[in-house]
Structure 1
Amino acid sequence: MQNDEILDIVDERDRVIGQKKRSEIYNQGLYNFRVVNAFVVNSLGQLWIPRRSAQKQIFPRCLDVSMGGHVESGETYEDALQRELQEELNLELKMLKVRLLGYLIPHQHQVSAFMKVYEIKLDSQPEYNENDFIESFWLNPDELIKWLHKGEPAKSDLLKLVQIFYIM
C-alpha cells in the first residue's frame, strides 16, 4: 500500500495503546485509529465535494469529503488537519476560517474510525492535488444526499457525515 504510514491504535476512550502500519489496520478491518475530515462550505451553503482519483487504494473514483486523512502516530487531530489541508488542497490552516463540527466515535456513531470533523468557510474552489482528486462539485447537502441515494459511488462515511452535520 502506498503511504503505509504508522498510525496510533487507540482504546475505546481514544487513548493511544499501540501503533500499526496503515495496511495492517485495513487488512485486519480495525476501526480503532484516528482520522480527520473537513468540509469546505461556501457562503451559499454548498459543500465542495471532490471525486477521488483512480489511483486511490480504497474508494477509487468515489465522492469524498472535501479533505480527509489519517492522524499519523504522534500527531494530534489538529496536526493532521494542518498537514492534510496542505497536501490535499494546498491550503494553510492559519489562513482559514475553520470550526470543529464534531467528534465521532466508531461504536457510538457507526463511522469507520475515531474522527474529528471540521468545516472550512471558503468561496473559491481549492487548488486540489490532482493525485488525490480528479474533479469536484459544489452541491447543497440535499443535492448530495440525492446523488448518493441514486447510487453515486462514495467513500463509506460521506453520507453519514452529511446527515449528522448538515441535514437538520
Structure 2
Amino acid sequence: MLLDLITKSFANILTLMNLVFGSMAIILVQHLHYSWAAIFILFAVFMDGMDGKIARRFGATSELGKELDSLCDLVSFGVAPAVLLYAQVFLESYHLPGLIAALFFIICGALRLARFNVLNIHEYFLGIPITLAGFLLAIISLLADNIYPMVILLLVVFLSLMMISNIKIRKI
C-alpha cells in the first residue's frame, strides 16, 4: 500500500516536473532566452516519457495521473512552443499570421489531448501526439536562424493539423 502510494506520487512528481520545465520555457521566452526555452521544452519531453514509463512499470496508472499529464502536456508542448516561436520568429516577420498560427497550434493541442482522453484508445495514437509536435517545434526553434520564417509558419500549421488528424500512429 505504501509502495503503491510512493510509486504513484513519483510518477505524478515527474509529470509535474514536465509542467515546471514547460513553465520555465515560457519564462525564458520573456527574457529572450530562446535556445534555453527550447532546451527546457526538450527536458519536459524527457519527463513526459519517464512519468508514463514509471507509472506503467509499477502499475501506478490512474485517472488523476492521466488528466494531470494532459494538463501539463498542454502547457509544455502546446503553449510553451507556440509562445516560443511566436516571440522568436513571428513577432517581427509575420505578426498577425504568426499569432493566428500559434493560437491555432494551442487550440489543436487542446483538442488532441481532450480527444485522446475521451477515446481511450490503447493500440495507436489518433493524430500525432502533442509531445511529438512540441518536440518538433523546439527543434525548429533551435534551427530557426537557418529556416525561412514562412517555412516555420507553415510547419506550425501543418503540425497543428496533424495533431487533430485521423492518421493512426502505432504506439511503441
TM bucket (normalised to shorter chain) is under 0.3
Instruction: Give the number of the structure whose alpha-carbon radius of gyration is greater.
Output: 2
Q: TM-score, normalised by structure 2?
A: 0.27
Q: TM-score, normalised by structure 1?
A: 0.28
